[in-house]
Amino acid sequence: MELSVTLISAGLLALLLCLFGLTRRRRVRLPPGPTGLPVIGNLLQLDKRAPFKTLLKLSETYGPVLTVYLGRQRTVVLVGYDAVKEALVDQAEDFTGRGPLPFFIRATRGYGLVISNGERWKQLRRFTLTTLRDFGMGRKGMEEWILEESKHLVDRISHTKATPFDPTYFMSCTVSNVICCLVFGQRFSYDDDRFLHLLQIISEILKFGSSPWGQLYNVFPRLMEWLPGRQHKMFARVEVLREFTMKKIREHQDTLDPSSPRDYIDCFLMRLSQEKHLPTTEFHYDNLVSTVLNLYLAGTETTSSTIRFALNVLIRYPKIQERMQQEIDTVIGQERSPCMEDRKSLSFTDAVLHEVQRVMDIVPMSIPHYALQDFSFRGYTIPKDTVIIPLLHSVLKEEKLWATPWSFNPEHFLDENGNFKKNPAFLPFSAGKRSCVGESLARMEIFLFVVSLVQHFTFSCPGGPDSIDLSPEYSSFANVPRRYEIIATPRRQ
């Protein structure tokens, strides 16, 4: 008798919980979306090599705000400039959360700037922006730093003597040295084997993160920890970067002069010492190691890949390269180094470089955001713990905002008089409070490095322009440009 009563009570409780769940689902008005399968959600519907293309296609049926399930993870996707801008800029406070990316959480041990939220994110972002600006990011001092590095690059390419070479590591060394000067207070030789090994690791990590296997880790991390595969090799690679970073931090601790900070690490160590007695401080060793890793990885591969893609574009379209050279010769000549002030007079060149970034679409799904609490958006409820994907791909390729969105066309950034014009849908660095902290540095590097290269060389490849494929070699988290052997013919005799 007691057993029967217990079973009936348990059944009634289960029914009440079920009814409560149904009632809550009716009350919570999620954005529409395709029906998913248990456990795997909508994963089988997504193009595993370019999931952003599937999401863009789904928006034609479900609208600019839609819900999909990546495994069990509820995910809201924002499609098009209006929805992305309204979320990240107009309703910025609700969208400041950063999505839990298991690969990055494991790699950084949950610390650092990129994946943090709340007070940790606020403290680290404010400090990082201020410190990088103090060391010249976006200013004249950094401009001189970049130009000095560009001379090393030009010299190294000159030694190829117009024979085919792979520019990948030249570009990686050059861009990495800029961030190394900011963070570590030093540059490295292009012949430093340890430095080249670190750059190889960074490239491998980006490629893994952009592979179906890497994306699978973010959806099913516990399963992937158990299964054999490349993910274990990648985490071993991350540990090599971590050891290098910790070694540099120890060297800074031994030589720190508080009256004369040399770089980002010095400034962080000083703040750490000042706040070591505060229980709520975020300035501690774990955050220092992971934030330096964040800056080193983000500041190396994305910008160097963009410059590499720019060279592919110039080889693919030699007439565009020739017109850039004519403009640069007219404004700067072949003797003087370029400067950021020249950008105002190099309208066509500036337009080409903007179009390079638009077409490359380097992070098509952005870095995911996260709902830290329930909130409303466009009449829908975005429940707490929802991942949010601002589909930057849909903004950079939106047909109503770009005349020929799927073609390379510098005219997108030129008015009828040939002057440079801005387009609000140019958001390769995202927007709002979570936009890229290194945006001003990246813009400066792309302009100064590419102008310096085009000023000194004419670029071609053994197979001719038609052999260049501008579609990405790897595509998912990041669009990675294809690698080619190229020829740099000196313009000065």
- Where does 256-407 show beta strands of DSSP type E? 369-370, 375-377, 380-382, 387-391
N residues, the chain: 493
Rounded CA separation 438/451 (Å): 20
Backbone φ and ψ for 31, nearest 5 degrees, come out as -60, 150
> Residue 20's pLDDT is what?
41
- 124-138 burial, b for 16+ CB within 10 Å, e for fewer? bbebbeebbeebbbb
pLDDT, greater one: 134 or 342: 342
What tokens does 364 get?
């098509």
Q: Which residues pair with 387 in a beta bridge?
A: 75, 370
> Residue 49's pLDDT is what?
85
Quick one: angle between helices 118-134 and 264-274, nearest 10? 130
Question: pLDDT of 161-209, one tens digit each?
Answer: 999 999 999 999 999 999 999 999 899 999 999 999 999 999 898 888 8
Range of weakest confidence among 161-170, 296-305, 374-383, 422-431? 296-305
pLDDT for 81 beyond 70: yes
Q: Which residues pair with 65 in a beta bridge?
A: 78
DSSP string, 357-377: HHHH-SSTT-S-EE-SS-EEE
Q: Is the dihedral of CA 281, 284, 286, 288 positive or negative?
A: positive
Number of alpha helices (DSSP H) and beta strands (DSSP E) in the chain = 18, 9
> Residue 452's pLDDT is what?
97
What tokens does 139 get?
């200013």
Which CB contacts under 8 angstroms, 24+ apart, belong to 369-376? 369/88, 369/95, 369/96, 369/97, 369/98, 369/99, 369/434, 370/97, 370/98, 370/99, 370/100, 370/117, 371/94, 371/97, 372/96, 372/97, 372/117, 372/118, 375/94
pLDDT for 1 beyond 60: no
DSSP string, 66-91: EEEEETTEEEEEEESHHHHHIIIIIT
CB 348 within 8 A of CB 411: no
Task: Give, in words, the CATH class of 101-365+399-490.
Answer: mainly alpha
Question: pLDDT of 370-408, one tens digit each?
Answer: 999 999 999 999 999 999 999 999 999 999 999 999 999
pLDDT, greater one: 203 or 452: 452
Q: Give percent of the chain above pLDDT 70.
A: 93
Rounded CA separation 468/352 (Å): 17
SS3 at position 382: strand
> What contacts 236, CB < 8 A, 6 or more positions away?
none
Rounded CA separation 462/466 (Å): 11
Residue 472 DSSP code: -
Rounded CA separation 122/128 (Å): 10
> Stretch 449-464: mean pLDDT, rounded?
97
Specify the residue for token string 């000159």: 158
CB 362 within 8 A of CB 301: no
| Average pLDDT over all residues of the chain | 91
Residue 330: pLDDT band with limits 50, 70, 90: very high
DSSP string, 149-179: HHHHHHHHHHTTTT--B--HHHHHHHHHHHH
351, with CB counted inside 10 A (0-12, 13-18, 19+), is buried
> Residue 17's pLDDT is what?
43
pLDDT for 296 beyond 70: yes
Residue 139: pLDDT band with limits 50, 70, 90: low
The closest alpha carbon to 287, from 304, 303, 275, belongs to 275
> Residue 469's pLDDT is what?
96
Element (H, E) at 148: helix 140-158
